[in-house]
Structure 1
């Protein structure tokens, strides 16, 4: 009898599971507001150089209009709008002549914005870009802070996986919520860009734990047949969180106030998280059966199965978990993923897939301003299409299969991004359509890979493989914003890269992952024949068998 049967004794899926899912959906719903915050807090407003004659009312000639003063003070930019990063050294009076042309001045007559910039505050009253002048020569600092944040998530993923296995899921989640709340609140009061980056890094470190821990708690407190539903609900909460962020940013246009608005709920979630019971499965595996028994009996009472509290004993728990405890001791290393030839190719292919998806995904969702003028609407649409994609993925699997769904929609996502490169800026509606289509395709492909990858590995190596592929995805999330730092020197490099990378990896992954799938049960570790899929600690990795069952 495995732990799943112990859960059935405690009521299976009942009131406790419903309360737990609702509680864990709250922090998960707020994760997008942390990952995508710079879409709004670091939005780049319209700007031009500060000019004495134009912006100092005491020096402005009374007989000239603001438009005339702008003409003689600021040269036209590439789009014939006032240049954002240059100004005339001296007023170009000849440009007031009706017969003058835009070429009646030389580049030598201009200089950088030595006195700062004037910002358009009609959309945002305040952003970190306007507050710390992250424009022109410093515009690459915006994608840099986004990459710093993703580095924090990457390192946090490594650390919180180990810490939650060492100290438990519940204290890890509580600490992460408190860390995010404190770091984000401090970010709202940051006095300079360096402090802002440091606090955002600390926040990202905690967010990594909030991403990982709810999934683990849900899986370990849910019966096998209900697990897919709860994980789907968790994914939908991310989509809903994107929509909430767009609506919240539309209401709050000051970046410090917005930062506080998405920080305060984490203090409440920190307090609520102490209600959650620790994972009984984890408690048994780490040698705390008495505490695990208390948690199981508590769950049974909440689910209305009070009679189960008498039948649940320490002896029953230890007997039921004997196989899983033995499997936990048979630890596997990352090297085991590369010792078996077929596993080696699959691991390389899946690493490439995970990396390429996240490079393009975060390159797309962290650069809303380049996709359309109404970034609030775009954020809400991105969340809505992501929600729709997650809801329809299961149906697509039944028609196309896992592998074909993954390959086809990742290719479509890349094509949508490349199509947007060809659409001029004066066609915002068409650009919006391609952007939303690409986001929806990415949502489906990301869901596909999360379902498909467990089938490619034996149970004994699944957690090791999952950590390896999660790291690949986080590395891609770091790389995505970094590519955008080349925009000033090569404007088309970033969008072309975001479109080509997922398409190029599609053919590779189909080739590398072709073949059988591992069919060992993900929860119990038992194969369909009843044999354990966990080899003994002395068994070589190549002793693992492969089924020819294709998806």
Structure 2
């Protein structure tokens, strides 16, 4: 018997699990808001140089109207719009009425007196701290710093959650998010904003790993959910993240000032902090830390809420120990990261699946964090980029059940890589192709969660999943830095975002199919099922006819 069987005796996926799952899916909405928040708080507004030697119309010759000022001070680009980063060294009143100054050879200079922004649309950190022209790379660096915070938070809160409990970690992460996120809305300078966003990223990851983690990662939602329902709960979480992106668009449309938007999204975490006090600590964590009496009380409470009061009364510390002895024996020896490379087959699996996770995070955020470049209404563009994930995730689920995990993963990565590469040569249909690419990568995430869980044996499954999550965080961290390279070579951006998924597709083709195969328990069993001679791009798996029981974890 295992902990999953113990949950079954007190109601399985009962009233408590359904209610708790609904509460712990709410953070997914806010998490998506914070992940894509900089699309709006770092919006690049229309801008041009502040005219030289001119303030409030001083030094304007007679007969020159206010509409002629820009023509005298600011050159026009090839699209007949004011140059955003250049101005004339001195006013040229004689050309102020000309419609085209791009062909004139007049002395120009950088914006020495700052910029004038179109603040009628919104405000952002770009207009607040002049993150334009030679400083526009700082916008991408700010997003990478936030992603770095997520990476650090995954490690810090993972350790903290194991030592202090899931509920304590959830409350600590939520409190840190409220404090740091709200402080970022009040940041007096760009460096202070980056530091506070880094800490917000740490807090967000702490909330993720303790509220709605993927199967076989420690979280309140998953550790109270029966094994056969964990994948379904994870799918719900994926759709809530999509919903969060739509909610963010609506909030950004209503709240145009970046400080108010940043503060609103951060203060909303107070809701999580309030109801988290009523959530019981994970019984699984309590048992592994020898707090059996507290675990029994929590299990009895859950049994009562599930209408299994009589079964709850029968629970004693001795009964609980008997139920979980198989699980505790399975985790008697904690795995290390190097165990993922202990054998040739496991090493191949780790490298291939990690590259898949990395490419999905790298290109998904690369497309999702740059919606303003399409030139359409950014609010509706964000909605469209969010909604496209819904049908692709549904199709991914159908494909996994019919064609299998490997073919689905490889196909999604191939589609994403090809359409992103094509955007470098067909700019006219760039938005439609990017939508298809982002949707494919969103579906790839859904597939990778299940595929990774089935590839790794119970002995190292949790650390294998952690390695995948770490890889995708690393990819999301590096993706904003590609924008910096794109500032110098625009064609390089789609090439990098397209090539990485293609490389990942080639690597994933050497994995083996796990559809309708039982979960494995040991590394030795994995080597028997996945020998090195099996594989080759999209070949069918030659699984040995062995009979294994499903893992209880």
Same fold (TM over 0.5): yes
Aligned residue in 1 for 2:528: 546
Aligned counterparts of 1:151 and 1:333: Cα–Cα separation in 2: 23
Aligned residue in 1 for 2:467: 468
> Is contact 2:47–2:116 with CA below 8 Å preserved after alignment?
yes
Deviation at 1:545, TM superposition (A): 4.5
> Is contact 1:390–1:444 with CA below 8 Å preserved after alignment?
yes
Deviation at 1:198, TM superposition (A): 0.6
Deviation at 1:211, TM superposition (A): 1.5
Deviation at 1:514, TM superposition (A): 3.9
Asked if residue 486 in structure 1 is aligned to residue 485 in structure 2, the reply is yes
Distance 1:100-1:494 versus aligned 2 partners, 3 A rule:
closer
Aligned counterparts of 1:436 and 1:487: Cα–Cα separation in 2: 20
> Is contact 1:27–1:269 with CA below 8 Å preserved after alignment?
yes
> Is contact 2:70–2:96 with CA below 8 Å preserved after alignment?
no
Aligned residue in 2 for 1:530: none
Deviation at 1:97, TM superposition (A): 7.4
Comparing 263-272 with 94-103, greater Cα deviation is found at: 94-103
Asked if residue 205 in structure 1 is aligned to residue 208 in structure 2, the reply is no
Aligned counterparts of 1:264 and 1:143: Cα–Cα separation in 2: 25
Deviation at 1:247, TM superposition (A): 0.9
| Number of corresponding residues | 527
Aligned residue in 2 for 1:413: 416
Aligned counterparts of 2:443 and 2:21: Cα–Cα separation in 1: 23
Aligned counterparts of 1:278 and 1:293: Cα–Cα separation in 2: 11
Residues 293-342 of structure 1: CA distance to partner in whole angstroms, max 9, x if unpaired? Answer: 00000001111111112211111100111111112222111111112001
> Is contact 1:48–1:85 with CA below 8 Å preserved after alignment?
yes
List alignment gaps of at least 5 residues for structure 1: 522-526, 528-532, 535-540
Residues 189-211 of structure 1: CA distance to partner in whole angstroms, max 9, x if unpaired? Answer: 11110110011011100000112
Aligned counterparts of 1:99 and 1:372: Cα–Cα separation in 2: 23
Deviation at 1:31, TM superposition (A): 0.2
Deviation at 1:473, TM superposition (A): 1.0
Deviation at 1:239, TM superposition (A): 0.6
Deviation at 1:517, TM superposition (A): 8.3
> Is contact 1:173–1:210 with CA below 8 Å preserved after alignment?
yes
Q: What is the alpha-carbon root mean square deviation over aligned residues?
A: 2.1
Correspondences of 1:244-255 after superposition (within 5 Å): 244-255=247-258
Aligned residue in 2 for 1:394: 397
Distance 1:184-1:111 versus aligned 2 partners, 3 A rule:
same
Aligned counterparts of 2:463 and 2:101: Cα–Cα separation in 1: 66
Deviation at 1:100, TM superposition (A): 7.9
Aligned counterparts of 2:268 and 2:454: Cα–Cα separation in 1: 37
Aligned counterparts of 1:99 and 1:335: Cα–Cα separation in 2: 66
> Is contact 2:68–2:97 with CA below 8 Å preserved after alignment?
no
Counterpart secondary structure, 2:529: coil
> Is contact 1:455–1:518 with CA below 8 Å preserved after alignment?
no
Correspondences of 1:336-355 after superposition (within 5 Å): 336-355=339-358
> Is contact 2:417–2:500 with CA below 8 Å preserved after alignment?
yes
> Is contact 1:50–1:113 with CA below 8 Å preserved after alignment?
yes
Residues 78-129 of structure 1: CA distance to partner in whole angstroms, max 9, x if unpaired? Answer: 54421100100112344357698632224xx1111011000012321x1110
Comparing 236-245 with 261-270, greater Cα deviation is found at: 261-270
List alignment gaps of at least 5 residues for structure 2: 214-218, 531-540, 544-553
Residues 489-521 of structure 1: CA distance to partner in whole angstroms, max 9, x if unpaired? Answer: 21221122111211122112213x247789554
Aligned residue in 2 for 1:110: 108
TM-score calculated relative to the size of structure 2: 0.91
Aligned residue in 2 for 1:155: 152
Aligned residue in 1 for 2:449: 450
Distance 1:97-1:478 versus aligned 2 partners, 3 A rule:
closer
Distance 1:466-1:97 versus aligned 2 partners, 3 A rule:
closer
Counterpart secondary structure, 2:58: coil
Aligned counterparts of 1:352 and 1:185: Cα–Cα separation in 2: 35
Counterpart secondary structure, 1:48: strand
> Is contact 2:52–2:91 with CA below 8 Å preserved after alignment?
no
Aligned counterparts of 2:129 and 2:237: Cα–Cα separation in 1: 37
